[in-house]
């Protein structure tokens, strides 16, 4: 995620909330799928990859929102 101009923290906060919600939803869906008797491992694997990608995006946005503090 590249931000060429000034960072709009309000937009980033909204995006961050959306990503966190999707991450939680995926976690719930993975748990539900894992409990089913007809286990679909490929679908679960894809969902876990998507979840990891979301976590990376969340971390990048959090790093943009937290100011660097020089001690």
What pLDDT, in 10s, does the model give residues 10-28? 999 999 999 999 999 999 9
What is the rounded CA–CA span in Å between residue 23 and residue 52? Answer: 9
Break the chain into its structural domains and give their ranges.
9-64
Helical spans, DSSP H, in 1-71: 9-35, 41-65
Q: pLDDT tens for residues 37-57? A: 888 899 999 999 999 999 999
pLDDT recorded at residue 4: 52
Nearest one of 55, 47, 52, 42 to 28, comparing CA atoms: 47
User: pTM here?
Assistant: 0.79
């Amino acid at each position: 995620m590249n931000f060429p101009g000034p960072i709009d923290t309000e937009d980033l906060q909204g995006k961050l909330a959306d990503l966190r919600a999707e991450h939680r939803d995926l976690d719930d869906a993975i748990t539900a799928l894992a409990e089913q008797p007809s286990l679909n491992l490929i679908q679960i694997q894809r969902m876990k990859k998507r979840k990891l990608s979301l976590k990376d995006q969340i971390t990048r946005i959090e790093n943009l929102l937290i100011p660097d503090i020089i001690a």
